[in-house]
Chains A and B, each alone.
Chain A
Amino acid sequence: MSSAHTKTEHGHTDHNYLNHGSGIWSWMTTLDHKRIGLMYFATVATLFLIGGFFALGIRLHLAKFGAEPLLSPDTYNKFMTFHGAIMVFMVIIPGIPAFLGNFVLPIQLGAKDVAFPRLNLASYYIFIAGALIAASSMIFNQVDTGWTFYTPYSTAKTSNGVILLVLGAFTMGFSSILTGLNFIVTTHKLRAPGMTMDRIPLMIWALYSTSIIQILATPILAITLLLIGAEKTLGVGIFDPDLGGDPVLFQHFFWFYSHPAVYIMILPAMGVISELITAFSKKTIFGYRAIAYSSVAIAAVSFLVWGHHMFVSGQSTIAGIVFSIITMFVGVPTAIKLFNWISTMYRGTVTFEAPMLFALGFMFLFTIGGLTGVFLASTGMDVHFHDTYFVVAHFHYVMVGGTLMALMGGIFYWFPKMFGKMTSDLGGRISWVLIFTGFNVTFFPQFVLGAMGMPRRYFDYLPEYTNLNQISTVGSWLIGLGFLVGLITIIHGILKGEKASDNPWGAKTLEWQTSSPPPHENFTTTPTVTAGPYDFR
């Protein structure tokens, strides 16, 4: 963030966290969780633009509008790799927890800061270091493995840039673990007087469950990535069959992290949605306990389903069947959440400002993503769909349609608290219409492409897939335009937005009971909690 934001619009206002210190140095050395959250925002937004550039490049190439291919096969494979690696490791995983979580969690708990503020700042710099290391692989020895780094391709058949990229992901993993640790301790130790565990907002339950996954699963990724490095530099022979290793072992290790990581991406999004639905329905959330415990249940089951990525890898039939049935169990807590959110609207008084539109968009897209997940969890069905565009469509609906919709909704929702100003509601709505429409135009045809048999990660394809690919590409421009409008709306809000009241949405959680923007230590007097978080009586 630039120091310009620390100056106040009208020459003087109350003392708040934005003007608590001035100058770039006061931001870079800040221990304030709110400022750290905003620094993550700026970083993640920048990385998102880079990842989005690669996405548009991929789609433009696949539209085949010119006589000559836009990209060479090798360039295409690199675009595909960087798009995936940046979006997964640097945007969607840290997006909600590190940015929105950091900003919101302590205020919602009525705490002055996270439990370990210095560690929080260190986590940010570790993330930056990891991102820089990973980004350097874009310049030196570019990588073409895909973000999954499957062996032995990654260890034996491609450039040494893989080492930089996995080292970057390894480093960012520490940031993820430390943030998770910080959130867990904060949730347990720093709740305001009267805030029992069944009075914490559902956003916190979601972040708490996410943190457990981050702490338990990320070390597995770290070790796996180190083994890739060791395999490549020392030839230790864990994954290389020529040295007696097993290439499929890598997939077990990788998905043992990366499947839970899917829930690191989606659980915080569900937390955001719980906040938005209740605030814009002006009604107590339906089934608080069910939503809270279903987050924990999803976190727990997420560790037992990794093998569903490997139904055709050569693992035994019985393993496939066991992973299939456990995967089906994930559908239940997910369905519980959807039903609860919808029931929350029943006999509420619903309004449709931009954050609510994003929440509704989330429900729409996530429902499609979730239902198509059942197709893939079914073994007999998955054999046909595995590694086709059906999978691409499915996980974009879940991860992008879900997480990015929630992230956008969360930004517009907490924006008044962050900056003490309002964004243009019209700007937010236009952004939503473009992203939502563009998203469906881009990814729905990909379900059909997958059913027709088009494999993923293809530089070129059969002529019968052309039309659907072109429709998909047009949709991707709409998404790009939608995010551009969103960005302009946000920047306009920061610079010229109207002054926000302390509680513009009339929400009940603690962050709305302090001033906008909050003072340096969140509350001038420590709040005392006497009721649940959504008490709209």
Chain B
Amino acid sequence: MSWSSLIPATSFMPIQATEIAKEVDLLYAFLIIASLVSFVILIGGMTWFLIKFKRTSVDQKSAYITHNNFAEFLWSFIPLVIMMGIFYWGMVIFEKLRTPPEDIAAEIHVTAEQWAWTYRYANGKEFYSSANDPMIVPAGKATKLILTSKDVIHSFYVPAFRTKQDAVPGKLTQLWFEPKQPGEYIVFCTEYCGTKHSGMMIKIKAIPPEEYAAWYHAEKKGADTPADLGKTLFAQKACASCHSIDGSRIVGPTMKGLFGSNRKFADGSQAKADENYLRESILVSSAKIVEGYPPAMPVFQGQLSDEDVANLIEYIKSIK
């Protein structure tokens, strides 16, 4: 956009590593220009009045003006319209930031703790890292992170991607990004988390998709993928006695095609089956009872580790 390049302010922003970063910066440029104009009107007007109406003699009289309905309507209505526009513009960007696309090339479980991040890939590759191992992702393709925390709240912030999401213990949140070019991008923790809060940095390294594919399949760590481990656990916990994997109906809903489907609940509400829904249903199944099924599932809270749950979710995702 030509007009946004008129001001140098956006140059203070980090590099624009994603398409969304460009959109955010465009809004930013607009806000800066709008603010400058407003500032000049307000403070410029004030300064002008101060000079023009400076008291010059002791017995000078001020005018007697109490109000002006038309002026007051204008300066209430115009700011309202402008702010509704800014709200709408921000909302459009926010929804893009918050809604991952359908085709995700890499999905990574990220667990925060004081003061490091662990990331696990779908094939079992796992890194415990504070700064040394970058998070490898494909460039030009979408990556989705599924975030949680072991201890306190942390926040995953990538300035170059203009995106940020808290990692909350006891809950799964998600974040997605699509770096346009290969490169290294810094990740900060932005939710205060104690002594080494400012030292909790990692890097995201985006590499060409072919290189990523080669890296992803090479030197696979461990024999079992999270989905494999989840499958074993599914058997151990006798989940199959109530949940089929082939679409047939037994006691509880089938796992086939469950992930990403729309669920209707006994109380009339509905939700999309995402990671957080699966997590909640595994740990405390009574939270949301699927319409037409009995509330029969035992509570697994306290019996499964966060990693167990993540593995089960990966297995359920794989039952298509």
Inter-subunit contact B79/A332 (CB<8 Å): yes
Task: State which of A144, A325, A338 has its C-beta within 8 Å of the C-beta of B194.
Answer: A144
Contact B53 A536 (CB under 8 A): no
Q: Hey, what's the 0/1 contact readout for A451-462 against B, CB within 8 Å counting as 1?
A: 111011111111
- Residues of A contacting B61 in the complex (Cβ-Cβ under 8 angstroms): 349
| Contact (Cβ within 8 A) A380 B72 | no
Q: With A378-B86, A380-B24 given, is the CB distance from A451 to B12 under 8 Å?
A: yes
Find out whether the CB atom of B31 lies under 8 angstroms from the CB atom of A242: no
Q: Does B3 contact A (CB under 8 A)?
A: no
Pairwise interchain contact B90-A332, C-beta atoms closer than 8 A: no
For this complex, 12 residue pairs linking A to B, each with C-beta atoms less than 8 Å apart, are: A152-B151, A152-B152, A281-B53, A312-B165, A317-B94, A317-B98, A320-B98, A338-B42, A343-B71, A375-B28, A448-B12, A455-B198
Q: Does B239 contact A (CB under 8 A)?
A: no
With A349-B54, A367-B38, A459-B198 given, can you name 17 additional A-B contacts, CB distance below 8 Å? A146-B192, A247-B170, A284-B65, A286-B65, A290-B72, A311-B94, A317-B94, A346-B49, A346-B63, A349-B56, A350-B53, A350-B54, A351-B54, A363-B46, A379-B93, A380-B94, A536-B62
Q: Does B169 touch A at the CB level, under 8 Å? A: yes
**Is A10 an interface position by the 8 A CB rule?**
no
Assess the A380–B63 pair: CB atoms within 8 A. Answer: no
Interface-facing stretch out of B183-191, B218-226, B241-249, B252-260: B183-191
Contacts of A244 in B (CB 8 A): 301
Residues facing B in A371-409 (CB within 8 A) are: 371-372, 374-375, 377-384, 386-388
The reply to whether B53 and A332 form a contact with Cβ atoms under 8 Å apart is no
Q: What sequence of 0s and 1s flags, for each residue 71-92 of chain B, a beta carbon within 8 Å of any chain A beta carbon?
A: 1100110011001101101111
Taken together as a complex, chains A and B put the C-alpha atoms of A385 and B255 apart, in Å, by: 40
A390 CB to closest chain B CB (Å) equals: 10
> Which among B12, B75, B192 is the interface contact of A339 at CB below 8 angstroms?
B75
Residue of B nearest to A460 (CB): B198
Chain B minimum-CB-distance residue to A250: B153
Nearest chain A CB to B224 CB, angstrom units: 27
- Which of the residues A286, A287, A350, A371 comes within 8 Å of B38, measured between beta carbons? A371
The minimal Cβ–Cβ distance linking B288 to chain A, given in whole angstroms, is 15
B60 CB within 8 Å of chain A: yes
Of A19-27, A121-129, A153-161, the segment with at least 4 beta carbons within 8 Å of chain B is: A153-161
Q: How far is the CA of A77 from the CA of B67 in the complex (A)?
A: 50
Q: How far is the CB of A405 from chain B (nearest CB, A)?
A: 14
- CB of A347 closer than 8 Å to a CB of B: yes
Expressed in whole angstroms, the Cα–Cα distance for A246 and B72 within the complex equals 45
Nearest chain B CB to A444 CB, angstrom units: 12
Contact among B86, B164, B169 for A247, CB-based, below 8 A: B169
B263 within 8 Å of A (CB atoms): no
In the assembled complex, A331 has its CB within 8 A of some CB on chain B = yes
The smallest beta-carbon distance between B189 and chain A, in angstroms, is 7
User: Using Cβ atoms and an 8 Å threshold, which residues of chain A touch B86?
Assistant: 328, 374, 377-378
Closest Cβ neighbor of B166 among chain A residues: A313
| Contact call B31/A384, Cβ cutoff below 8 A | no
> Given known contacts A144-B194, A152-B152, is B84 in contact with A453 (CB within 8 Å)?
no
| CB contact list, B191-210 vs A, under 8 A | 191-199
Contacting pair A537 B64 (CB below 8 A): yes
A383 in contact with B170 given A339-B75, A457-B192 (CB within 8 Å): no
Q: Report Cα–Cα, A451/B9, bound state, in Å.
A: 9
* Interface class of chain A by DSSP: helix
Q: In this complex, which of B83, B91, B151 has the most chain A Cβ atoms within 10 angstroms of its Cβ?
A: B83
Looking at the assembled complex, report how far the CB atom of B245 sits from the nearest CB atom of chain A, in whole angstroms.
Answer: 30
Across the interface, which residues of A come within 8 angstroms of B27, CB to CB? 378, 380-381
List B126-165 residues whose CB lies under 8 Å from chain A: 151-153, 155, 157, 159, 162-165
B190: which of A379, A381, A388 is its contact (CB, 8 Å)?
A388
Interface size on B, residues (CB 8 A): 83
Residues in chain A near residue B157, CB distance under 8 A: 387, 453, 455
Residues of B within 8 A of A382 (CB): 90
**B298 interface hit (Cβ, 8 Å):** no
Does B45 reach chain A (CB closer than 8 Å)?
yes
CB of B106 closer than 8 Å to a CB of A = no
Question: What does the 1/0 interface line of B99-125 toward A look like (CB < 8 Å)?
Answer: 100000000000000100000000000
Determine whether the beta carbon of A328 is less than 8 Å from that of B84: yes
In the assembled complex, how far is the CB of residue B177 from the closest CB belonging to chain A, in whole angstroms? 12
B95 on the A face (CB < 8 A):
yes
Chain A neighbourhood of B31, CB < 8 A: 374-375, 378, 381
* Chain A residue at minimum C-beta to C-beta distance from B91: A321
Of the residues B49, B153, B188, contact of A455 by C-beta under 8 Å = B188
Q: A342-B42, A342-B46 are in contact. Are A379 and B91 (CB under 8 A)?
A: yes
Residues of B within 8 A of A381 (CB): 24, 27-28, 31, 90, 93
A345 contact from B50, B75, B195, Cβ within 8 A:
B50
**Nearest chain A residue, comparing its CB with the CB of B189:** A455
- A59 at the B interface (CB under 8 A): no
* B42-59 with Cβ < 8 A to chain A: 42-43, 45-46, 49-50, 53-56
Indicate with 1 or 0, residue by residue over A308-351, a CB within 8 angstroms of chain B CB atoms. Answer: 00011110010011001100110110011011101101111111
A504 CB-CB contact with B under 8 Å: no
A247–B35 alpha-carbon span in the complex (Å): 36
Q: Is B229 in contact with chain A by the CB < 8 A criterion?
A: no
The CB with the most chain B CB atoms within 10 A, among A242, A246, A345, A456, is that of: A345
Q: Is residue B14 contacting chain A, with contact meaning CB distance below 8 A?
A: yes
Query: How does the 8 Å CB contact mask read for A283-300 relative to B, with 1 for contact and 0 for none?
Result: 110111110000000000
Would A336 and B194 be within 8 Å (CB), given that A324-B87, A346-B65, A378-B31 are in contact? Answer: no
CB distance from A248 to the nearest CB of B (A): 6
CA distance A429 to B83 in the complex (A): 36
Whether, in the assembled complex, A140 has its beta carbon less than 8 Å from a beta carbon of chain B, the answer is no
User: Contact between A379 and B192 (Cβ–Cβ < 8 Å)?
Assistant: no
Flag if A314 contacts B164 (CB, 8 Å).
no
Complex Cα distance A287/B71, Å? 10
Cα separation A324 to B94 with both chains bound (whole Å) = 11
- Contact in complex: A289, B67 (CB < 8 Å): yes
Q: Which residue of B lies closest to A458 (CB)?
A: B198
Q: Which residues of B contact A194 (CB under 8 A)?
A: none
Residues on A with beta carbons closer than 8 Å to the beta carbon of B114: 157
Q: Does A65 contact B (CB under 8 A)?
A: no
**Complex: how many Å from CA A146 to CA B80?**
35
Interface membership of chain B positions 272-302, coded 1 if the CB is closer than 8 angstroms to chain A and 0 otherwise: 0000000000000000000000000000010
Instruction: Report B-chain residues with C-beta under 8 Å of the C-beta of A388.
Output: 190
A77 to B39, CA, bound (A): 35
Is residue B66 within 8 Å, beta carbon to beta carbon, of the partner chain? yes
Shortest distance between the CB of B84 and any CB in chain A (Å):
7
For the complex, give the distance between the alpha carbons of A400 and B171 in Å. Answer: 36
For residue B97, CB closer than 8 A to chain A, the reply is yes
CA distance A75 to B69 in the complex (A): 55
Interface flag for B173 (CB, 8 Å): yes
Whether B168 is near chain A, meaning CB under 8 Å from some CB there, is yes
Identity of the chain A residue whose Cβ is nearest the Cβ of B31 in the assembled complex = A375
Question: Which residues of A have CB within 8 Å of B83?
Answer: 328-329, 331-332, 374, 377
Verify A156–B62 contact, CB threshold 8 A. Answer: no
Complex contact B97–A383 (CB within 8 A)? yes
User: Which 5 residue pairs of A and B lie closest in terms of their CB atoms, listed nearest first?
Assistant: A241-B170, A380-B93, A453-B159, A378-B90, A379-B94
Let me know if A317 and B95 touch, CB within 8 A.
yes
**Cβ distance B32 to chain A, nearest Cβ, rounded Å:** 9
B198: shortest Cβ distance to chain A, in Å?
4
Contacts of B55 in A (CB 8 A): 282, 349-351
Name the distance in Å between B158's Cβ and chain A's nearest Cβ: 9
Most buried by A among B56, B61, B170: B170
Which residues of A491-537 are within 8 A (CB) of B?
536-537
